[in-house]
Amino acid sequence: MLSGYGYDWNHLAPRLIREGYSLSRLRSYGGPAGLSQGCGREIPVPPLSEYCRQDGIDFSPLFWERLMPLLQDYIQQAPAIAKGLNHVMTEKRPVALLCGPRNDYIGRIHAEIARCNKIPVLTWQHGASGFFSWVMQEHTELESSDLHLCFGDGVARTMAETALQKYACHVVATGSLEIERIQDSKVMAAETFSVLFATTNYYRNSLYVSGPTLFSDADLWKSQQQILATLGATGQKVAFKIHPANYEDRHLREFIQLQGFGNIRLVKQERTFPDLLAQTGAVVVDFPTTTVLQAAATDRPLFVFTGHLPLTERADVLLRKRAFVSGDLEEFSLLLQHYFQGEPTGQSPDVHDTSFLKEYGIHRLDGRVADRALAAIRDVEQGRIKSQ
């Protein structure tokens, strides 16, 4: 049974069916959050001051003002959702519940109800992990899981001790089917763009609060402008890829237009990043998450700015074997400028080096990601891994 959007589980679905499994998608029960009239009860204000203080400023009243309506929604809706899910779990008794990240309360209820019914919960890593510190992944992927599939050994080593001791969750490295398919694709389409610039976080975005560093929207905007200006000045044909879920992009469009960068085309929902990878000459990334793993799976020259998301020491060493890397914005701009002018850059990465990819994205270059995922499911099915 599949909970939420499955990411790599979706890629595995045809193989699961061929192996004789039936696969159903678990829908939510109850209305969506944010539409209820509240729980109808007064929620006591918890002591938040010690957790909501920075630079001597207590922001707990503002935090509680935002949090209380969400809690009221949850308290009202959770019982009905749990009741419906419990009925389905009891009736169907699936071998396992397959999950992507659980970043809302409905996903967590899915997992908790499954475990109450002794149905193992398997989570497959979504997005990058292991080469930087992203503490929220403990809660969205490990907590309420019995088995967590990672992209590579580097990720598994990072998570293994915490997963078992804190969450009683087993961790195994399998790789990513999506990244494996990118790496296996030998036939590349005719080049449409000379450069693909992917930005992964945005103005007024709430996702990067759980990262290892804090930076302002102004810092991000500064780097986006400088990288765009550098690429615009090269005259190269550039695809500027922003996330399809980003709702605040007018400033990006206006900047490109006002600067007169006719060589830069902003791409949002009409093309996916993997599709664009097959039609570009070089790749530029300003926030090294999933896009770095996807780009490293190709033989395209890769430029990675680490000023907003610093990597671990080992990850930085491995990535430099494959990509041009800098955490300094001026140095990064010069790397791009010198490269496209055919001048020495001071760095000499190998586009065929796979050490970073194997450590954090694909585990082994053997084409057997699906086999390893199936083996994990059979371990659960045969009782070698049990629901806690």
Assign 134 a pLDDT band (cuts: 50, 70, 90).
Answer: confident
Average pLDDT over residues 357-367: 94
Assign 41 a pLDDT band (cuts: 50, 70, 90).
Answer: low
- Whether residue 44 sits in one domain with residue 170: yes
Is 386 part of any domain?
Answer: no
- Whether residue 373 sits in one domain with residue 331: no
What is the model's pLDDT at position 35? 41
Say if residue 12's pLDDT is above 70: yes
Residue 266: give its domain's CATH number.
3.40.50.2000
Helix axes 217-234, 329-340, angle to 10 degrees: 20
- Whether residue 240 sits in one domain with residue 193: yes
Percent of the chain exceeding pLDDT 70 equals: 90
Assign 153 a pLDDT band (cuts: 50, 70, 90).
Answer: very high
- Whether residue 167 sits in one domain with residue 205: no
Is 374 part of any domain?
Answer: yes
Domain hosting residue 147, numbered range: 2-180+367-381
Say if residue 269's pLDDT is above 90: no
What amino acid is encoded at 205 in this protein? N
- Whether residue 104 sits in one domain with residue 233: no
| Mean pLDDT, rounded, of the chain | 87
Number of domains making up the chain: 2
Assign 204 a pLDDT band (cuts: 50, 70, 90).
Answer: low
Long-range contacts of 326-335 (CB under 8 A, 24+ apart): 329/222, 329/223, 329/226, 329/305, 332/227, 332/303, 332/305, 332/307, 333/226, 333/227, 333/230, 335/303
pTM: 0.88
- Whether residue 155 sits in one domain with residue 251: no
What is the model's pLDDT at position 249? 84
- Whether residue 206 sits in one domain with residue 325: yes
Average pLDDT over residues 230-246: 90
Is 306 part of any domain?
Answer: yes
Say if residue 31's pLDDT is above 50: no
Say if residue 244's pLDDT is above 50: yes
Q: Please, what's the b/e burial string for 325-347 (b: 16 or more CB within 10 A of its CB; e: otherwise)?
A: bbeebeebbbbbeebbeeeebee
pLDDT digits (tens, 9 = 90+) for 158-203: 888 888 888 889 999 999 999 999 988 755 566 789 999 998 766 6
- Whether residue 343 sits in one domain with residue 230: yes
| Minimum mean pLDDT range among 12-21, 135-144, 145-154, 155-164 | 135-144
What is the model's pLDDT at position 341? 95
- Whether residue 197 sits in one domain with residue 172: no
Average pLDDT over residues 366-376: 95
- Whether residue 248 sits in one domain with residue 105: no
Rounded Cα gap, residues 387 and 112, in angstroms: 11
- Whether residue 372 sits in one domain with residue 254: no
Rounded Cα gap, residues 259 and 240, in angstroms: 15
Is 387 part of any domain?
Answer: no
Is 388 part of any domain?
Answer: no
- Whether residue 244 sits in one domain with residue 198: yes
Residue 88: give its domain's CATH number.
3.40.50
Is 99 part of any domain?
Answer: yes
What is the model's pLDDT at position 206? 56
What amino acid is encoded at 78 in this protein? A
